[in-house]
Structure 1
Amino acid sequence: MAKKLVIIDTDCGIDDAQAIMMALAAPDVEVLGITCCFGNTSLENVCQNVLRVLAVCKREEIPVFQGLGGPLVRATELPKDHFGSDGLGDILEDRDPDWREKIQKEHAVNAMIRLALENPNQVSLVAIGPLTNLALAVRLDPGFPDSLKDLFIMGGNMEGKGNVTLCGEFNFVTDPESAHIVLEEFRCPTHIATWEYCCRNKLTWEFFREVLNQDAPAARFMKLLTSKCWAYSQAAMKSKRDVHFGPGFVSYDSYAMAACIDGTVVTKSIECGIHVELQGSVCRGMMALDLTDQLKKSHRVVVMTECDLEKFRKLLANSLQQP
C-alpha cells in the first residue's frame, strides 16, 4: 500500500513539534518536505526548530525550506511570551551555528508548488501556522491548489471565541489576508481543525505527564521543551481555555495532523462555506461559518467538530516513543 505523501507548513512552536513528530512516527506517511513560515517566532528560529526536531527523530534526510518571514500586507508582530523567544521554550542553548547550510536553497513556496506538481493529486498539505506561504503559492501559481490531494489546516474559529483577540484565533489573526485568500481560492478538499474543536476535544494533564515520562528520546525532548513554559501554559489555560472549555491539555496542531494521518479520528464535522473577516477592530481575522448558505459559495470546507480521543491519544503517544 502506497504511503500518504505529506508536506508540512509550520511556524514550529511546541505544538508544531508534536504534530511533526506525529507525522514522522506514522508508518504509512511519507513527509516530502517541511516548509517554514513566521508565526510563533521568527522565521530563522522556526527553521532551526524544525531541524532540531528532525535531528531528535533521526530524520534529517527530510528537506527543510525557508519561506516568508512576515504577513503579506502588514508589519510583522511576533508573540513575546507564548513559547519563549525562540518558539521552543528557550531551552535549546546549543544552537547549531551551521543551520543555514542545512536549509534547502529553494524557497519554500517554490518547493511547495514543485512537490505538488511532481506528485499530482497525491500530496496532502498540512498547514499548522499562519497561511502566508500558501497564499503566496496560489498567487504565483493559481493552479497549485488543484494539484493537491487535500489540505488540512489548524486555525480559525467557529463560535466567535478568540485566543489572541476577542474573536480571532492566532494563526488567522497573525495574517488575516492570507487566511482569506486560502479559504477563498483553494478548491481542493479542505479540512479545518479550529481552536474550539481542539479545546473541546482536549486531553487530561495526567495523560500528558504520562506520555512525557516515556523512556524515549522524543519524549525526553518534549519534556525538556515544555519544562520552562509549563507555568505559562497553566496560566493561559486558566485565563482563556477554562473560561470556555474547562481544564485540559491541548496540542493544537496535532489535531490537524491526526486528521490527515487517519480520517477516522474525526467523528463529526460540518461542511459549509467559510468567510474570513478582514475589517473591523473586533472581528478582523475571525472565521465565519455560512451555515445558512447566504454567501452561495461553490466550495465548501469540512470543519471538524468531534474527535475519537482514543485514536488521537494513541497517535500522540506513539509520536513520543520514537527511538
Structure 2
Amino acid sequence: MAKNKLLLDVDCGVDDAQALMMALAVPNVQVLGITCCHGNTEIDNVCKNVLRVLKLCQRSEIPVYRGAGTSLLGDQLTATHYHGKDGLGDVPDPNAPGLEHIQVEHAVNAMIRKATEHAGQVSLVATGPLTNVALAFKMDPTFPSKLRHLYIMGGNMESRGNAKICSEFNFVADPEAAYIVLNHFACPTYIATWEYCLRHALPWEFFKEWVNQGTEKAHFMKMITAHSEKFSKTKQSSKELYFEPGFVSCDSFAMAAAIDESVVTDYMQCGVSVELQGSLTRGMMVLDTLNLLKKQNRAFVMTKCDIEKFKQLMMSALK
C-alpha cells in the first residue's frame, strides 16, 4: 500500500504535539519533514518541542526546519496562558535535544523542495499560523499546485473568536498569511475551524483514560497537558471559550482528516477569505455562502466528525 506522504507545519504547543504523535503512530503515514513556525510559543521553543516529541517517539531521523519567527508584518502573538511559556506546559526535560539538531536549510526552502520532489503526492498539514505556507507561495507560485492536499487547523465559521473577539488564534496571529493561502491555493483545501473542534470536544473521562494508559508517551502527555487541563477546567475560561465542558485537541482534528479522510463525515464547500481591515473582525475567516466572491477554488470546511474513529487515532497516539 502506498505511503500517505505528509509535510507538517507546526507551532508546537500541546495540541501540535498531540497531532504529531498521532501521525507518527500510523504505519501508513510517512512524515517527510516538519517545519516550525512562530505561534503558541517563540520559534526556538517550537523547534525544541518538535525535537523533544520526535525523541520520545524514537523518530529523530525526521528532519526539522526552523521557519518564520514573526508574522509577515513582524508581529508576534503567543498563547502561553494555555500552552505554558515553553509551549509544552512548562515541564522541563534536562535530556531534551538541543537546537543543533535543527536542519540548516530554512523551513520555507525545505517545504518547496520536498513538494517539488514529491509533486502531486504530498499533503501539507498546517497547525499553526500560516506564515511559512504563505512565504512558500510567494517564493514559488507553483508551490500550491505541487501539493496533493492542504489541511489547515484555523479560522472560524461563526465569527467566534478565541484570541480576539471574532478571530481564531492561528489566523489572527498572521491574518495576511492566512489571506494569501486562502486566496491563492488551488489544491484541495480542508479546514478544521475553531467551532468544528469545539463541537467535537471529548469528555474529560476519555481524557483521563487517554493519559493513564501506562506508557511512556501517555506519561509525557499527562505531564505536558496538566497546565492546559487546569486552564480548560476553570469556570471562567470554560464559559468564555467553550460551548460545553470537554477536552479539545484542535490540531489533532486537522491531522486526523489528513490521516484518514473518513474521520470527517460532512463538509461545507464554499469560497473562503480572511478579513484584514475590521477593527473588531481582523483575522476572522469569511465564508462566502452566497458565492459573491465568485471564487474558483472552494474550500472544504469540516462540519461533522466520526468521533469514534477520532478517539481511536487519539488512543493509538499514546500506545
TM-score (normalizing by structure 1)? 0.96
Deviation of the 1:292 alpha carbon: 1.0
- The Cα offsets for residues 99-144 of structure 1, whole Å up to 9 and x where unpaired, read as 1221111000000000010001000100000000000000000000
Cα distance in 2 between the residues matched to 1:77 and 1:152:
22
Deviation of the 1:312 alpha carbon: 0.2
Deviation of the 1:95 alpha carbon: 6.0
Deviation of the 1:73 alpha carbon: 1.0
Per the alignment, residue 247 of structure 2 pairs with 249
Per the alignment, residue 41 of structure 1 pairs with 41
Amino acid at match of 1:105: V
Cα distance in 2 between the residues matched to 1:184 and 1:226:
35
Per the alignment, residue 25 of structure 1 pairs with 25
Per the alignment, residue 273 of structure 2 pairs with 275
Cα distance in 2 between the residues matched to 1:16 and 1:252:
8
Matches within 5 A, 1:117-156: 117-156=116-155
Deviation of the 1:70 alpha carbon: 0.3
Gaps of 5+ in 2: none
Matches within 5 A, 1:68-83: 68-83=68-83
Per the alignment, residue 16 of structure 1 pairs with 16
**Local SS of the residue matching 2:50:** helix
Deviation of the 1:156 alpha carbon: 0.1
Q: Does the C-alpha gap of structure 1 residues 300 and 278 become closer, same or farther in structure 2, counting only changes over 3 Å?
A: same
Cα distance in 2 between the residues matched to 1:21 and 1:74:
30
Cα distance in 2 between the residues matched to 1:320 and 1:44:
25
Cα distance in 2 between the residues matched to 1:193 and 1:113:
24
Per the alignment, residue 108 of structure 1 pairs with 107
CA contact (8 A) 2:171 2:283 kept: yes
Match of 1:290 among 275, 288, 292: 288
Cα distance in 1 between the residues matched to 2:83 and 2:95:
17
**Local SS of the residue matching 2:91:** coil
Deviation of the 1:229 alpha carbon: 3.3
Per the alignment, residue 85 of structure 1 pairs with 85
Cα distance in 1 between the residues matched to 2:26 and 2:80:
33
CA contact (8 A) 1:82 1:232 kept: yes
**Local SS of the residue matching 1:82:** helix
Cα distance in 1 between the residues matched to 2:79 and 2:14:
14
Deviation of the 1:267 alpha carbon: 0.5
Matches within 5 A, 1:213-224: 213-224=212-223
TM-score (normalizing by structure 2)? 0.97
Per the alignment, residue 261 of structure 1 pairs with 259
Cα distance in 2 between the residues matched to 1:182 and 1:253:
18
- The Cα offsets for residues 128-163 of structure 1, whole Å up to 9 and x where unpaired, read as 000000000000000000000000000000111111
Cα distance in 2 between the residues matched to 1:297 and 1:42:
35
RMSD (CA atoms): 1.1
Per the alignment, residue 179 of structure 1 pairs with 178
**Local SS of the residue matching 1:61:** coil
Cα distance in 1 between the residues matched to 2:226 and 2:114:
36
**Local SS of the residue matching 1:182:** helix
Cα distance in 1 between the residues matched to 2:80 and 2:21:
25
Cα distance in 2 between the residues matched to 1:195 and 1:264:
20
Per the alignment, residue 2 of structure 2 pairs with 2
Per the alignment, residue 318 of structure 1 pairs with 316
CA contact (8 A) 1:237 1:247 kept: no
Per the alignment, residue 300 of structure 1 pairs with 298
Cα distance in 2 between the residues matched to 1:35 and 1:200:
29
- The Cα offsets for residues 206-252 of structure 1, whole Å up to 9 and x where unpaired, read as 0011010001111111001012332112126513234xx21111100
Cα distance in 2 between the residues matched to 1:75 and 1:307:
34
CA contact (8 A) 1:180 1:275 kept: yes
Gaps of 5+ in 1: none
CA contact (8 A) 2:9 2:125 kept: yes
- The Cα offsets for residues 5-45 of structure 1, whole Å up to 9 and x where unpaired, read as 00000000000000000000011100000000010000000
CA contact (8 A) 1:241 1:247 kept: no
CA contact (8 A) 1:123 1:150 kept: yes
CA contact (8 A) 2:80 2:86 kept: no
